[in-house]
Amino acid sequence: MPLPPWLEQPLADLLRRQRGHAVLLAASPGVGLLDLGLAVAQSWLCEARAADMPACGACASCRLVQAHTHPDLLVLVPEALQEALGWLATEDGEAKASKAKPSREIKVEALRRAVEFAQQTSSRGRAKVVVIFPAERMNAISANTLLKTLEEPPGEARFVLCTEGVDALLPTIRSRCQMVALHPPEPGMARHWLEARGVREGQVLLAAAGGQPYAALALVEAGVDASQWAALPQRLARGEGQAVAGWPAPLLVQTLQKLCHDAMAIAVGGSPRYFPSASFEGLRGDISALSAWARELSRVARHEDHPWHAALLADALVAQAKRHLNSPQ
């Protein structure tokens, strides 16, 4: 996927201004942080670009990065995200061999591997690049393992840390990186990008995803289209479980939280943020009942890793939605 237009300028600025061996890219989720991190890595490794310019996209090195097989690029993502992002750990069968639930953290073993990788001589003679996403998923031990290398980096090593929660990073890590903060794209640009990917009524899905274009695309990939989204409040108010049949629990809980947020906004005379206003026609929710629902949903969200029986959870959540969207004033 080519870099989205809102990341082109940040990439160009970063390549022009970057002086150290480590950069920290910070953004809210859904903006395309990992893609920017990879574009930075690809540019550093590119063998045909003009100085300070982005990667050419065509040289042997660029093709290796695109194929996820560049010998001088290591991408660290938590086990739980590896498959979805297409960056499987190449070594150690330990994760695959064990039956344990894939970790949501970037473990210390992975950081040790990265440090060792950074110390090796570059295979293609440009650099050794380590991309870490999301960097805030390093636990304290992992972060400290990295810290020593950031303090005294081996000659050819470069690091790109990508974070969606910059405040959760150790200050000592932050202070050793050149930080670049990314802003969410302007809505028109994001909508155009979505529509160029065949998404119809991009503005509805963009609102559904809180203005985050990658999150909107993920909704489409999960099988949700704009008209389905807009119909959800009415269908859930009627208790139609079919409307969310087969949804993964985290998506369902998140969607109900958005629905509850909007219902509360309307109950106090405000405007919805995630759903079109028309989606709430005829629905009445009482603000104190809705607040209780919001609290209940955050409780469920905190336990969404819990081995719920997905269908039972969905039934219970839909029944709850029906009750609260029809609560008497």
Q: Which residues share a beta bridge with 121?
A: none
> Hey, which residues does 42 pair with through a beta bridge?
none
Which of 55/209 has CB closer to Zn ion? Answer: 55
Task: Report the residue from 16, 17, 20, 48 that binds Zn ion according to the rule CB under 5 A.
Answer: 48
Told to check if 56 binds Zn ion by CB under 5 A, we report: yes
> Per the structure block, which two tokens stand in for 142?
């992992």
Give the nearest distance from C-beta 101 to Zn ion in angstroms: 39
- Which residues are CB-neighbours of 306 under 8 A, at least 6 positions away? none
115-134 footprint of Zn ion as x/- string (CB under 5 A): --------------------
Q: How far is the CB of 60 from Zn ion (least distance, A)?
A: 8
238-270 CB burial, b ≥16 within 10 A, e <16: ebbbebbeebebebbbbbbbbbbbbbbbbbeee
55 is a site residue for Zn ion (CB under 5 A) = yes
126 or 197, CB closer to Zn ion?
126
- 26, 62, 232, 267: residue in contact with Zn ion (rule CB under 5 A): 62
SS3 call for 255: helix
The sheet with strand 157-163 has its strands ordered as 73-76, 128-132, 157-163, 22-26, 178-181
Q: Which two tokens stand for residue 304?
A: 């969404």
Decide if residue 301 touches Zn ion (CB under 5 A). Answer: no
**Residue 260 in the binding site for Zn ion (CB under 5 A):** no
Regarding 111 and contact with Zn ion (CB under 5 A), the answer is no
- Interface residue with Zn ion, options 59, 147, 179, 313 (CB under 5 A): 59
User: Which span (49-57, 103-111, 272-280, 301-309) binds Zn ion, by CB under 5 A?
Assistant: 49-57
Residue 166 contacts Zn ion per CB under 5 A: no
Whole-angstrom Cα distance, residue 234 to residue 325? 9
Using CB under 5 A, list all residues that contact Zn ion.
Answer: 46, 48, 55-56, 59, 62
